[in-house]
Chain A
């Protein structure tokens, strides 16, 4: 039974390989890749229900009991992320069908998207820190290819920088792993947590923890986001949306696991550091979003603001703040995907990237314009949309934790998000239309349906936050009490 935990990792890999053989049959590739993602979404939802009733489940690969073998662990937190990631990928694929173009589809676009999602799901589900490294690399290798796919000048140039930066980050990950193995002699996350709790988190272990913080910050775009705007603005829209939705979130997930499960014992150093980094990230992201002239820059800096805001939740570390961060994480995956899809569609429709050169889109495409308005409200955190609950809970948590500086920065950033996105809305959607009736391109049906689906999810999460609270509470409980996780792994199932 617990074998089905590996399916979110293994099914994308197998279908990706099968798709390699179906290179010429584009229609078949589309259908298979879409069905795969739908299937994984269903599986992860079923697993989520199971975890809800039976507690954390795990699968020890080839029967090696922890801490000796590698294993996959499914708790509510990871499954919520797997579910959201799978749904968003399915919808992004829907967008890609009508926009990506035959050239990409024949160059193994769908297999690489599936490899990417395999790496992402693997990173969420693994219970072994070295396995986390491997899943990161699977995801990153797929992302390297997706950035460069198409082979335009700009793409190759940016992808080279992106790859080199990530290779160095992965190298630091290995260094951190080596130190960790040298000090605690184990790589199983639950076992590490147990050993760290036994000996207390001495300065040596805190140093290792900070090394992990640096590595995951590079991946998440926390403070070390200098690489992000360049590489996120060159690939095709569907890929951009996937990156914005998923890649930084994997880094954030790793940060949450590291600092709630493995190294939670020295918050004066680590959590303060995360707090400072989150604050600086928010301020820098806001500056970027304010100064940007083209919509890609504004959208990528909004990704960075999102990262900073979620990590306020981790830095504060109270129960309310953590559950707010989980809400906001899920919201951010969906809303950022929608934002990037819309931005890409705007560029496709007008042929311009500079905000001031576009005008009057809402006259030609009313539904499209109002969906943009909706995602703007959601990202700002206006009820009844999805961002509201997360923002309020993180705010309550920050007040409880008496962390008023972060509270102030966080809510100031919301206003700047609103300002930067409203500027696009007023300049590009209102005003005189620049597209004459003859030049008007139609929005492809697949793209429009992907917008509508994501918008429905945003409204649903906002209005139906109550229905999600059971899962979120369960996830928060596990994150706040690492002993639940440790016991489920090391003592259960024997």
Chain B
């Protein structure tokens, strides 16, 4: 199961990397979102995929899974949610102000 997950993480990372390297802003943002999903899966996997109960008091009895990776992932999800939302608004504003959603055209540095 772990090796399957690692392969999946690898596929997601390659998709995300491809998208981040493209010129279109929206593709880049989608790319960062996919990359963050990949790393969430990675954290889950390196924590060890075990069959066990949920780590809650009312369900105790028998072995339960490590809750820490899940807590980490939840935090990471919230952060990536905030960053992605901010990026989307920023990209929209940039598009409206600069009239382009292409990084090639947003290079600048010469016109100032």
A→B interface (CB under 8 Å): 130, 134, 137, 141, 144-145, 148, 151-154, 156-161, 163-164, 167-168, 170-171, 174-175, 177-179, 181-182, 187, 230
Contacts and interface: CB of A to CB of B under 8 A. Distances in A.
A254 to B, nearest CB: 17
A167 B83 contact: yes
Given A156-B93, A175-B39, A141 B86 contact: yes
Given A130-B72, A163-B86, A178-B46, A168 B35 contact: yes
B35 A153 contact: no
Nearest to A144: B86
A153 B95 CA distance: 10
A182 B45 CA distance: 9
A158 B111 CA distance: 13
Contact of B42 (A144, A145, A158, A175): A175
Contacts of B93: 148, 151, 156
Query: Which secondary structure dominates where chain B touches chain A?
Result: helix
B98 A137 contact: no
Interface of B: 20, 25, 28, 32, 35-36, 39, 42-43, 46-47, 68-69, 72, 75-76, 79, 82-83, 86-87, 90-91, 93-94, 97-98, 103, 106, 108-109, 112
B3 to A, nearest CB: 14
Nearest to B46: A182
B90 A159 contact: yes
Contact of B69 (A151, A167, A175, A181): A181
Contacts of B72: 130, 177, 181, 187
Contact of A178 (B25, B43, B94, B106): B43
A177 B90 CA distance: 28
Contacts, number: 86
Contact of A156 (B32, B86, B98): B98
B75 to A, nearest CB: 6
B94 A177 contact: no
B75 A230 contact: no
A156 B35 contact: no
Nearest to B29: A164
Given A134-B75, A148-B90, A187-B72, 17 more contacts: A130-B72, A151-B93, A154-B112, A160-B91, A160-B94, A163-B83, A164-B20, A164-B87, A168-B32, A170-B83, A174-B39, A174-B43, A174-B76, A175-B42, A178-B43, A181-B43, A181-B69
29 contacts: A137-B79, A145-B86, A153-B97, A156-B90, A156-B97, A157-B94, A157-B106, A157-B108, A158-B108, A160-B25, A160-B87, A160-B91, A160-B94, A163-B87, A164-B20, A164-B32, A167-B32, A168-B20, A170-B83, A171-B32, A174-B39, A174-B76, A177-B43, A178-B43, A178-B46, A181-B43, A181-B46, A181-B47, A230-B109
